[in-house]
A and B are shown apart, each in its own frame.
Chain A
Amino acid sequence: MMNSLLGALESGMLYALMALGVYITFRILDFPDLTVDGSFTTGGAIAAVMITSGAPAWVSTLCAFAGGLLAGTLTGLIHTKGRINGLLSGILMMIALYSINMRIMGKPNVALIGEKTIFSSVSPLLLMPFVVLAIKLLLDLFFRTELGMALRATGDNQRMIRSFGANTDYTIILGLSLSNGLVALSGALIAQQSQFADISSGIGMIVIGLASVIIGEAIFGARNVFFATLAVVLGSIVYRLVVALALRIEWLEQTDLKLITAVIVIVALVLPTMRRSWKQKAVARRRSLEIGSEAERNSVGGGL
């Protein structure tokens, strides 16, 4: 039991970087980017191939990050310069990356057993808290800079930030790039932890990322960027704990996981909208009563 909890904590932190990437596109940019499924594998592929050919683990990991940056940039270019719908741009890139990942790895699976990885000398449980915290804080800081604020405004009100002189094509590309960089970094770390890279490791990654973001926001709230990124990291860990617990249930199969994840996301997405419409109805009812009694008194309100 303890082992599986620690395991969940460990993978929660490893996948947290991917979840932060998904947070940047889905929540900050308001861009449903499906590149993630491809770029996660790209990260693992680049790291695995470089490590097996003798490159230092940290160089390989950084190159994986750069590979993700590039993938995100391409999705951004397809969307902004090619004027292709965002969802489709991501899907196109995801499909293209499948072939590219295969080319990088040369075969569907690259083993890292016996190779010197980042985690050869230090356990992920010791290293990852620092890595995740550092990246989270750097992101928080970035989103408070002028450029970072322009990026947030691009997702919030594109027309407005353009009227203040920001090039929204650029901020969209930047956000997608940063997001996929983090996703690929997460893929590279996961490959080193599990000691293999697999062509299909990214499948469904976008939904897992979304689940982490949504679970985190639901449990821990997201009043501002600081708490939102914290919630995403914790959400990723909670998601892994839920999965670990679910896997202890006798009649559930490993392959049921993706179904469970999809259901979690659907429920979490539907609940807030339903709650909002209930609330709205209640407010409308109260207001119409108020207006009714106001009309009786025949008084007029003023001011802002």
Chain B
Amino acid sequence: MLQISHLSKLFHPGSVDEKIALVNVNLQLKPGDFVTVIGSNGAGKSTLMNMISGTLRPDSGTIHIGGNEITNLSEHRRSRWIGRVFQDPMAGTAPHMTIEENLAMAYSRGKSRGLSIGINARRRELFQEQLGKLGIGLEERLRAKVGTLSGGERQALSLLMATFTKPQILLLDEHTAALDPARAELVTQLTQRIVSELKLTTLMVTHNMEQAIRLGNRLIMMDGGRIILDIREQDKQHLSIAGLLGEFEQISGHKLSDDRVVLGT
């Protein structure tokens, strides 16, 4: 489904601020894979996400989604295949537009946008039904401006918008990190449910070790722009937080340094 080959990226190459963000990264995801991604600060996790979504271009290497090469496709072109939820709850929605307008825009993903009216009775019904599934009462507030929602409500809405049209790849970059523990847990549960219902191929960055182990069928660990550990299916089920941290130290030669790391709940 997703195929990344020999992907590399340097920031400010050749200058004193040269930063290695990704070095020769290879990654292949099968349809329906739900991969959690962990790693220290600056490991290159977000850079990898940005490269897939097209906000950044690689220095070398290629990216394919379902057989289509997207390495140099502009962000808006490739977005028909990619759903994305950002860390910042502000980033995934248009705050001055209503919930239903935001949903309508998400609904038009991958279609050309013309002069047909964005919201009609049939669509509104669909939106209401989908919002109802979130179970947080947003279906009653179709015409509320998104800017009036709480961070948790916005992330839940962003998640729905990102997955609405069943993208081939879902990218989640610490999408619960800005929320308090209770709301984060709720959004995590929604994520789990939506991903398994729609069988979405998902890449999820998290700083919560417990979550990284519990969710998904595969776990990758990044450090210094490389994937240093890739744990699948059965092996993943037997992981413990202590074991994972130990493994990290052994391979990378240093402790997992992360200002936001959460060991468990």
B109 & A157 in contact (Cβ 8 Å cutoff): no
B76 & A144 in contact (Cβ 8 Å cutoff): no
B115 & A156 in contact (Cβ 8 Å cutoff): no
Interface residues on B, range: 35 or more
A168 within 8 A of B: yes
Contact with B along A257-271 (1 / 0, CB 8 A): 000000000000000
B216 within 8 A of A: no
A164 & B109 in contact (Cβ 8 Å cutoff): yes
A149 within 8 A of B: yes
Q: A144-B119, A163-B75, A163-B84 are in contact. Are A149 and B104 (CB under 8 A)?
A: yes
Contact with A along B29-67 (1 / 0, CB 8 A): 000000000000000000000000101000000000000
| Chain B contacts for A168, CB-based, 8 A | 76
Q: Which of B86, B113, B153 contacts A147 (CB 8 A)?
A: B113
Number of interface residues of A (CB under 8 A): 26
Contact with B along A264-304 (1 / 0, CB 8 A): 00000000000000000000000000000000000000111
Q: How far is the CA of A271 from the CA of B101 in the complex (A)?
A: 30
Taking CB as reference atom, which chain B residue is nearest A154? B94
Instruction: Count contacts between A and B, CB distance < 8 Å.
Output: 97
B95 within 8 A of A: yes
10 closest A-B pairs by CB? A156-B94, A146-B113, A165-B79, A304-B152, A153-B94, A157-B94, A147-B113, A145-B115, A302-B182, A146-B118
Q: Which residues of A contact B (CB under 8 A)?
A: 141-142, 144-150, 152-153, 156-157, 159-168, 302-304
Q: List 18 A-B contacts (CB under 8 A).
A: A145-B116, A146-B114, A146-B117, A147-B113, A152-B97, A153-B105, A157-B91, A157-B93, A159-B91, A160-B91, A160-B92, A160-B93, A161-B94, A164-B79, A165-B109, A165-B110, A166-B113, A303-B182
